[in-house]
Amino acid sequence: MPSLSTSDLTLLAALFIGVAWYLLMRRRAQAEPMTRQRLQELRQQGAVVLDVRSPGEFAAGHAPGARNIPLGDLKARLGELDRTRPVLACCASGMRSGSACAILRRAGFTEVHNLGPWTNL
């Protein structure tokens, strides 16, 4: 089997990156934007507001009715959440809540939304 040249490897890497970028952008475009109206509807449907910041951050301020389960504890505490209710994850910037959404989806939660900073609520 012939070996690939440097230019062949570069072309393959560029192709891979291009396809990955396309798939990421396509997925983002399909995501429903979270409007204030949609947020209100979800909360009226009994959505759980899940704040994944540390207890100290949560104590310093949080969204009304939010439930605090720090990101590091989430996997061990999944049983505390109702899988039939929408979950609205938040944190300080959106990074930890994004990770929380991935954990929840892998655990079988079907309606999960990353709201980003808790101040958006």
Name the strands in the sheet holding 87-91, side by side, starting at the edge strand that comes first in the sequence. Answer: 67-68, 48-51, 87-91, 112-117
Domain segments of the chain as ranges: 1-31, 36-120
pTM of the model: 0.73
How far is 47 from 50, CA to CA, in rounded Å? Answer: 9
Q: What is the pLDDT of residues 38-66, one digit of tens each?
A: 999 999 999 999 999 999 999 999 999 99
Look up 91 and say whether it is catalytic: yes
Q: What is the pLDDT of residues 69-113, one digit of tens each?
A: 999 999 999 999 999 999 999 999 999 999 999 999 999 999 999
Strand spans (E) along the chain: 48-51, 67-68, 87-91, 112-117
How far is 15 from 13, CA to CA, in rounded Å? Answer: 5
**Cα 112 to the chain's mean position, in Å?**
7
Domain 36-120 has CATH 3.40.250.10: yes
Catalytic residue, from 47, 49, 91, 100: name it: 91
